[in-house]
Chains A and B, each alone.
Chain A
């Protein structure tokens, strides 16, 4: 069973149509949750880090929120340039000391003009 599950796998939106991406996790204790944006053929670009339930962070049209079992990446009035794959990664509090994040498989977002 995956520790980090992202849904949906793919999402198509019209420009201006707001929506949310989900990242659910099953680690016993969360140290940190990370969101990245990845464009085709490029490395992931860091967006946000969230540490505790109730925390929210915003950047332009993106807002990340965190609960005890999942995180949402809300996209408000998206534009075609928001099209990318969004990756979620979870850092477990008790992981033998390494704290290496575990990544989900990503959500591929396409925003049509």
Chain B
């Protein structure tokens, strides 16, 4: 089955710790994205990558970092510099950035204790 997987489903972090959220896709898509979703708000773009070894900041990149060493994988690190990290994080992919449909993973809920 082709799709996008995210792990873990739930993640708890103490203040001051960095955590890394995993995103893997087997759709052979070039483009991958990270979004943050908070109650009552639309999806906000954190980072996106159009191709391996390349990525761009989205609207709310501060306090986050990413890497794209493999086509299938686009991990997101939430650093201690992110002031309000508690949120639902969604990874998505599309065949290319300038084409249409994004497909989403199941999400990771991060809670900072």
Say yes or no: A4 contacts B101, CB within 8 Å: no
Q: Which residues of B contact A41 (CB under 8 A)?
A: 88, 107, 109
- Interface size of A as a range: 20 to 34
B43 and A103: CB pair below 8 A? Answer: yes
Contact B56 A91 (CB under 8 A): no
Task: A34 to B102: give the CA distance in the assembly, Å.
Answer: 9
Q: Mark B27-38, 1 if CB is under 8 A from A, else 0.
A: 000000101000
Docked CA distance A45–B107 (Å): 12
A87 within 8 A of B: yes
**A43 sits at the interface (CB 8 A):** yes
21 contacts between A and B (CB under 8 A): A32-B100, A34-B101, A41-B88, A41-B109, A42-B107, A43-B4, A43-B92, A43-B105, A44-B43, A46-B104, A49-B100, A87-B43, A89-B43, A91-B100, A97-B98, A98-B48, A99-B98, A100-B97, A101-B102, A103-B43, A106-B42
Task: Tell me which residues from 40 to 54 in chain A have a Cβ below 8 Å from any Cβ of chain B.
Answer: 41-46, 49
Taking the complex as formed, is B2 at the interface, i.e. its CB lies under 8 A from any CB of chain A? Answer: no
